[in-house]
Chains A and B, each alone.
Chain A
Amino acid sequence: MADMDDRAKPINIFFIVLRVGIGGLFIISGTMKILDPLKFLAAIETFHLLPYSIAYIVAYFLPWVETISGLALILNKGQKSALIILTTLITIFIIALVLSWGRGLDIVCGCFGHPKSLKTNYPLILIRNFAILTVLILILTRNKRRSL
């Protein structure tokens, strides 16, 4: 029994590191957008998916949802809700990216607030976001298994 607990520890540590890492990533991402809502608003507009008034509200609201959810992950409070919120947000973003790619738009990702390049590297952005989505689902699945 003691041996099984010992074997379980490294994997526990691995998932804690994943959870804290991904939480930190969303805090940084959200904070950068909070500091420059105008730039994030302009980035949303390049997708041509939302009317200006809705994009305006999203530009203020979404970064705080991201940041607070990231914080919830790190503090291990409301973890399940935070994971579901972030998974939903990333999924919606991936769909928006695919739609923009299909329409041939040159978008500004706005992922970390300040785009370095105005040329869109869709494959790179999609790979990055799929990786984040995978990590979120992994943590969510592990939590679900542990609670059963």
Chain B
Amino acid sequence: MNQFIKETGLICFIAFFLSLLTWCFHPDTPNFHKNDLEEGSILLKTALQSNERVLWVDARSKENFENDHIPGAVLLNEDNWEYLLAKFMEKWKQDFKVIVYCDSQSCKTSKYVAQRLQDELQLENIYTLHGGWQTWMIEQNQ
């Protein structure tokens, strides 16, 4: 029994120490406070409560988009930028709030797409969805 406690304690201690190191040095450490936002991000709750009309932009793969997406979203990723941008322009209007999302908080694609839209079209009212598609799924499950 003593041996079991010692071994289990050792495994847990090593795991704790290594998890602390991971938390300190991992480049994609999430915020401890759930709603700490990065610059240019928007919470789903805020987006849904907004009085402005929202144009959702899905930056994930075509396969994921076709599997499921936020209702009314347009697909826009760097795989087929020119073609998909034309589709985006068909739906976009000056007074829309554009919100780009990808898989989750760790996914960087939405930031690249949002930045590219800002650079190429000089869009100002553009954000990335904090938590991405997974935050939408969690919201739908509630």
Contacts and interface: CB of A to CB of B under 8 A. Distances in A.
A45 B67 contact: no
Q: Is the interface of A mostly helix, strand, loop or mixed?
A: helix
B123 interface: no
Interface in A45-100: 45-46, 48, 52-53, 56, 59-61, 63-65, 67-69, 72, 78, 80-82, 84-85
B11 A85 contact: yes
Contacts of B94: none
A59 B105 CA distance: 14
B86 interface: no
Contacts of B19: 60-61, 63-64
B83 interface: no
B11 to A, nearest CB: 5
Given A46-B134, A56-B30, A84-B4, A78 B68 contact: no
Contact of B11 (A52, A53, A69, A118): A69
Contacts of A78: 7, 10-11
Contact of A42 (B12, B134, B142): B134
A118 B66 CA distance: 12
Among A42, A52, A105, the one with the most B-chain Cβ atoms within 10 Å of its Cβ is A42
Interface residues of A, number: 36
- Interface residues of chain B: helix, strand, loop or mixed (majority): helix
A61 B8 contact: no
Given A42-B104, A60-B22, A65 B15 contact: yes
Interface in B1-45: 4, 7-8, 10-12, 14-16, 18-20, 22-23, 26, 28-30, 32, 34
Contact of B141 (A42, A60, A84, A106): A106
Contacts of A64: 14-16, 18-19, 22
Interface of A: 34, 36-39, 41-43, 45-46, 48, 52-53, 56, 59-61, 63-65, 67-69, 72, 78, 80-82, 84-85, 105-106, 108, 117-119
